[in-house]
Amino acid sequence: MSDLLRERRAELGESLDTIAPKAVDPVSGVRVTRGRINRLERADKVTPPVYEELAALAAAYRLPVERVQDAAGAQFHGVDPLRSGTGEAVAYVRKLDSLPPDQRERLLSLIDTLVPPRLGDDD
């Protein structure tokens, strides 16, 4: 999570002073302070953020809350979410789960034509 926040803030061209006021959960109104963001980015000894803080960070860093949750889960709880360099794989899997079975099968067949399965891969 620390790397995600630090790198994303750099991409956005934001400072701690400019991003902190934006760190507000749009539903609960929970705010994340500049000091807490700084500690989270530095991976200082810090307690894991609660969902409302993750939602506030997602809003400030303009990221899907699921991506922030996955990063926090990995850093604080050792959860190993499905990963890709861009985080797109997680979004695709979540969308795939919402498709009816026949559409999932057609999509997977299409993917197999684009990227054939390797020997030993599970179906």
What tens digit of pLDDT does each residue of 71-80 get? Answer: 998 888 887 6
With both helix axes pointing from N to C terminus, report the angle between 65-77 and 2-12 in degrees, rounded to the nearest 10: 140
Across 63-85, average pLDDT: 80
Q: What is the CA radius of gyration of the chain?
A: 18
Across 14-26, average pLDDT: 98
* Local confidence band at 99 (pLDDT 50, 70, 90 cut-offs): confident
Q: Domains, the chain, ranges and CATH?
A: 2-77 (1.10.260.40), 82-123 (no CATH)
Name the one residue in this structure whose structure tokens are 């030993």: 120
Residue 59 clears pLDDT 70, i.e. is over it: yes
- 97 by Cβ neighbours in 10 Å (0-12 / 13-18 / 19+) ranks as exposed
Give the per-residue pLDDT at 81: 61
Residue 108 clears pLDDT 70, i.e. is over it: yes
